[in-house]
Amino acid sequence: MDDRTTLEALRLDLTRRRLLQTGFGGVLLLAFGAVLPSGCARYSPVERSLRFLTRKEFAVVTQAGVRILGLPDSARESLGGSIDGLLVDLPPTSQSQARLMLRVVEHGTILFDLKPRRFTRLTPVEQDAYLRGWMESTLGARRVIFRALKALAALGYYAQTASFAEIGYDGPWIGRIEATGRVAHEVPVDLATVLAARRAS
């Protein structure tokens, strides 16, 4: 493990070209994702106000997240809120690809498991079987999406201070130790001021 690896957590940059390079599976997923519905009519309202996720996306990412990380269902609300806050700050391209990924996961039941029901309508046991299918798939593109989903869930859950105690992590040291910076960092000079002075002279 390595800290920097997690950036995979934000690894939602599933560009068209990259998906295609994961082989036939990528082509299939891309074509599939393009024709999927995106409406939210059948999804339960969410308690919190969402900044990025739709109700549908909230349902998909939180249900998948708790299954993948083995969390109780009660963790869904905070998990979803955390992920929503993270996604809202991503660049637009990454955001649209995150949406595509969640749509593909929601409706992939038809394509990969031949089930007439979408992911969020499956029982927890069925959801586990379905998600494990992504994790263990022979199609590279499906494994990529599983990893992205897992990383997103990890970021949503294990970044929460409330989760630290349950894994024995003691958290940031800021505020816990008396220490200051060793270096007096230079204060940046305002460029506009520099330019104005230059113009004046």
Q: Which of residues 164-193 bind other proteins (CB under 8 A)?
A: 164, 166-169, 172-174, 177, 179-183, 185-193
Nearer to other proteins among residue 74 and residue 193 (C-beta): 193
> Could you give the CA distance from residue 186 to residue 33 in angstroms, rounded to a whole number?
49
> Could you give the CA distance from residue 145 to residue 102 in angstroms, rounded to a whole number?
9
> Could you give the CA distance from residue 94 to residue 92 in angstroms, rounded to a whole number?
5
Residue that the structure tokens 């409706």 belong to: 107
> What's the sign of the alpha-carbon dihedral 116, 80, 87, 140?
negative
Nearer to other proteins among residue 41 and residue 199 (C-beta): 199
Nearer to other proteins among residue 42 and residue 194 (C-beta): 194
Is residue 162 a contact point for other proteins (CB under 8 A)? no
Residue 188 token pair: 């940046």
Is residue 132 a contact point for other proteins (CB under 8 A)? yes
> Per-residue x/- marks for other proteins, 48-87, CB under 8 A?
-------------------xxxxx--------------x-
Which range binds other proteins by CB under 8 A, 1-9, 44-52, 55-63, 111-119? 1-9
Is residue 36 a contact point for other proteins (CB under 8 A)? no
Which among 142, 125, 200, 197 is positioned nearest to 23, based on CA atoms? 142
Which range binds other proteins by CB under 8 A, 28-36, 39-47, 52-60, 156-164? 156-164
Is residue 47 a contact point for other proteins (CB under 8 A)? no
Is residue 131 a contact point for other proteins (CB under 8 A)? yes
Contacting residue, 91, 96, 111, 165, with other proteins by CB under 8 A: 91
> Could you give the CA distance from residue 117 to residue 16 in angstroms, rounded to a whole number?
27
DSSP SS3 for 142? helix
> Could you give the CA distance from residue 80 to residue 53 in angstroms, rounded to a whole number?
9
